[in-house]
Structure 1
Amino acid sequence: LPQRWDWLQQGFANQALAQAYRWSLRTVFRRPWLGVGLSLILPVMGFAVFATLPQQFFPPTNRNQFQIEFELPTQASLAVTQAQVRQARQRALQHPEVEDIHWFMGRSAPPFFYNVLDNRRNAQNYAQGIVQLASTDRLRETIQALQTELDAAFPQAQVLVKQLEQGPPFDAPIELRVYGAEIAGLRQVGDRLRAELAQVPDVVHTRATLTEALPKLALDVDEAQARRLGLDNRSIAGQLNGALNGSIGGSILDGTRDIPVRVRVPSPQQGDLGAIAGLNIVTAQGQMPLDAIVSLDLVPDTASISRRNGQRINTVQGFITAGSLPSTVLAAFQARLQEQGFELPPGYRIEYGGEADARGTAVGNLLSTVGVLMILMTATLVLSFNSFGLAALIGSVAILAVGLAALALKLFGSIFGFTAILGTLGLIGLAINDSIVVLAALREHPQAKLGQPQAVEDVVFHATRHVIATTVTTIVGFVPLMLDPTGFWPPLAIAIAGGLGGATLLALYYIPSVYRLLTRQRHPQASLDLSGDRGFPQT
């Protein structure tokens, strides 16, 4: 090859850059404490900014589908719900990005995605729609626009336009479980929490399990009149239930099927309090209107009383704008409660569910095997180097790599979540690998093994090309994932590729500096700075 192409066989070399790099190595290794201090700057900065990282443990998907939940008050009929849903469908189809919408009336949609909950059945006031988009280019903007438009068009309904997300399923991203013994107290605390949650930015809707009351028909029986007519509460309730809900009066044979016939009052009369009051009741003295025996009134009643682990609970849920981070919204809500001086009454407690609970469970499962892995890694390092001190040195690199991953996420404006944790674990492995390469080279050289500065400099200088080559190829390999438009892979790639640059500095400066400190105590004479080049020949 021509001389100008020698770098293809011998590698790239720049004399000025090599001299500057050697000078930095020489300065650091002759003052090892300086090298240790400088090497710790980036990891310590990462640990300092870790608490400020935005957290979204389960990132959203970039699928060209999302869901709409449409819920009217509990007493709404299926016909009213269907009419409202048709109007919502027409409004949504006016958006050019929306291709089609498939609605499921009175129930949840079948699980078309792995974490979509199918938890609503036989609900006449509820419908769920699956929206199909032409592309994912304006997915988040379309969701936000539809949420605003449908909220304004249907103020009597609770409309939730929700993007599909990764991770385990949960009903709402923000969830507060209030435990207590008294229904009235649970409702009061839940209403207060719901009112405060509604004031937090990016919260579009709230609801609680004990807020909505159903109308109940209350009967006040004239006991004296009922006894004279030979009636009691049970017989009155039985006749009224038979009239409203119906009783089997016969059957019709349809082919081979025997279809029962239920007889009851017409549907319009079932919702008319006056018509119910005029129903005839059979007594010992003949038929008599119901209102001659009882007085009727509609009173509010609790729709349902939920229990969790045998305790009464009022669950307050908050739904947030598409693209907002649940951890940020929850932190803002907790800060607001603290500013308002909110305190729970005695005997009540709050437990956080939703995304926070799912995140804690997932992290616990993910880190459940870390202890075993740490023991295996420590045993491997101790057996490899025959030294607990050197094993602890490699272990410190693993800890510092966590700070480097956090710093990379902060610098790139990324979020901390499930994939970022996986990236951090991957970075720990790569950082340890680079450090082991340098440490093994130091122990193989006869003078560097004793901590002689010039020999340490030579060993690190010649190991640099291999470490840098590994770093560059790894970073380049993760660039496509860093540019992934779905948002799922960038945190993982940033944690590994971004943190690997700092991990290289740990391998080239931190490891040799600490190694010099360790050998200086055992071999003080050999660690002196001797003149001359006693290591590898300089090239």
Structure 2
Amino acid sequence: MKYRVSGPDYLKVRSIANRLSDVIGRSPSSREVNQTAGEPERVITLKVNQTAARAAGVSSESLARMLNTVWSGSIVTSVRDNDRLVDVVLRARDNERLNLATFSSLTIQGNDGKQIPLSAFATPVWGVDDPVIWRRQRLPFITVQTDLAPGLRAEAVSAALRPAVDRLRAELPEGYSIEEGGAVAESEKGNSSVYAILPVTLVIMLLLLMLQLRNYSRMALAILMAPFGLPGIVLAMLPGGTPMGFVALLGVIALAGMIIRNAVILISEVDSNLAQGMASDAAIIAAAEHRARPICLTACAAILGMFPISHQVFWGPMAYAIIGGLLVATLVTLTVLPASFSLLLHLRMTSSGETREK
């Protein structure tokens, strides 16, 4: 899990990040709370008297170049080693680069060619600074991140921490924010992308169903079977507290397709029996008996195929959604669908009989 704290003042951002770390650390669900900022480090800053430097004919560029040569090194030439070139780097010895007294012995050449002691216009000053400052949209930010206790999911832990994090958010000054990242934010992005394309998918699915069934009432009957998978999803996911995230949503969409496919198979079989001249009740009973085994076998194959991934943190929610939903929906398809189809045919026969009498 990750939370991103941002604002205009980096020190204030660090203070807020520390408070957020305390809030997360008090939760029994968190492990190893840390920040991307790291601890401040001691640094040496060279305080330059610009007036004295200009009087001595030393520019800031030449001073920076000389210090870079002493501490980091500069390439002065290259030598050939067989078929490759090796750079020759000029820099101070290791013991000199680690000794602050090196500043007092350094000299730099002025515009007139004379060697001028660095101490004549520059003074080294000890200080404390952050080694890395991350920025996002030009604002500094610190990411507070934590591992989760074994067996817990990011969505569940996020929901448990939300009240405390919201209270801290309400106390923030203007211009500062706490945004959630990590698996929860990625799941929300994935859900939004699915919701954006879902209407187009539904329209295409309705067109395909209409081409196959060629009847509005039969198409509606097939689609109405899909919601019967929801009780199974709830029964499968609720006992273990499995979150309804992006992966589970993919499982629900796939489950709806499986349920509607089974319904279309059964409805098409009934229509085929009716076309052969069978009575409505006999056609429905024969179709249910003939298609019960293939529907149950395909459902069992899909359910058993989900068991190996049901214990995984990432794919587990999808597996539970498909297992529970398909188990309940298959029973409903073989019981409720034939009864509903029989009722539909009897209503149609009754309405057509009344029309002939009139």
Please give the TM-score of this superposition, normalised by the length of structure 1. Answer: 0.53
Q: Give the CA deviation at 1:341.
A: 6.4
1:216 aligns with 2:40: no
The whole-number CA distance in structure 1 between the counterparts of 2:285 and 2:24 is: 59
For residues 527 and 510 of structure 1, do their structure 2 counterparts lie closer, same or farther at Cα, with a shift above 3 Å needed? farther
Query: What's the counterpart of residue 470 of structure 1?
Result: 294
Query: What's the counterpart of residue 20 of structure 1?
Result: none
The whole-number CA distance in structure 2 between the counterparts of 1:203 and 1:291 is: 52
The whole-number CA distance in structure 2 between the counterparts of 1:245 and 1:416 is: 53
Query: What's the counterpart of residue 27 of structure 2?
Result: 200
Write out aligned runs for 1:425-504 (5 A): 425-440=253-268, 460-478=284-302, 480-484=304-308, 487-488=311-312, 494-504=320-330
Note the alpha carbon deviations across 1:484-512, whole angstroms, 9 max, x for none: 27835766555444433322343244335
Note the alpha carbon deviations across 1:384-420, whole angstroms, 9 max, x for none: 4443343223222123324433433446876656665
Q: Give the CA deviation at 1:244.
A: 2.4
SS in 1 for 2:46: strand
1:393 aligns with 2:221: yes
Query: What's the counterpart of residue 304 of structure 1?
Result: 132
For residues 442 and 506 of structure 1, do their structure 2 counterparts lie closer, same or farther at Cα, with a shift above 3 Å needed? same
- Higher relative helix content: 2
Q: Give the CA deviation at 1:299.
A: 1.9
Note the alpha carbon deviations across 1:422-472, whole angstroms, 9 max, x for none: 5434432332233335545666777xx9xxxxx876555444433442344
For residues 179 and 516 of structure 1, do their structure 2 counterparts lie closer, same or farther at Cα, with a shift above 3 Å needed? farther
Gaps of 5+ in 1: 1-173, 450-454, 529-539
The whole-number CA distance in structure 1 between the counterparts of 2:323 and 2:53 is: 84
The percentage of aligned residue pairs carrying the same residue is: 26
The whole-number CA distance in structure 2 between the counterparts of 1:478 and 1:518 is: 30
Amino acid at match of 1:474: T
The whole-number CA distance in structure 2 between the counterparts of 1:399 and 1:524 is: 28
Q: Give the CA deviation at 1:318.
A: 2.7
Note the alpha carbon deviations across 1:190-234, whole angstroms, 9 max, x for none: 333333233333433344444543443222234555455444544
Q: Give the CA deviation at 1:287.
A: 4.8
For residues 291 and 406 of structure 1, do their structure 2 counterparts lie closer, same or farther at Cα, with a shift above 3 Å needed? same
Q: Give the CA deviation at 1:334.
A: 1.8
Q: Of 201, 223, 244, which aligns to 1:373?
A: 201
Query: What's the counterpart of residue 189 of structure 1?
Result: 16
Write out aligned runs for 1:247-326 (5 A): 247-248=74-75, 252-255=79-82, 257=84, 259-282=86-109, 287=115, 289-308=117-136, 312-321=140-149, 323-326=151-154
Query: What's the counterpart of residue 3 of structure 2?
Result: 176
Gaps of 5+ in 2: none
Q: Give the CA deviation at 1:266.
A: 1.3
More displaced 10-residue stretch of structure 1: 414-423 or 333-342: 414-423
Write out aligned runs for 1:79-158 (5 A): none
Amino acid at match of 1:291: S
Q: Of 316, 328, 339, which aligns to 2:156?
A: 328
The whole-number CA distance in structure 1 between the counterparts of 2:232 and 2:282 is: 27
Q: Considering only aligned residues, what root-mean-square deviation do their CA atoms show, in Å?
A: 4.1
Amino acid at match of 2:22: A
Q: Of 306, 326, 336, which aligns to 1:510?
A: 336
The whole-number CA distance in structure 2 between the counterparts of 1:412 and 1:255 is: 66
More displaced 10-residue stretch of structure 1: 494-503 or 277-286: 277-286
Amino acid at match of 1:217: I
SS in 1 for 2:4: strand
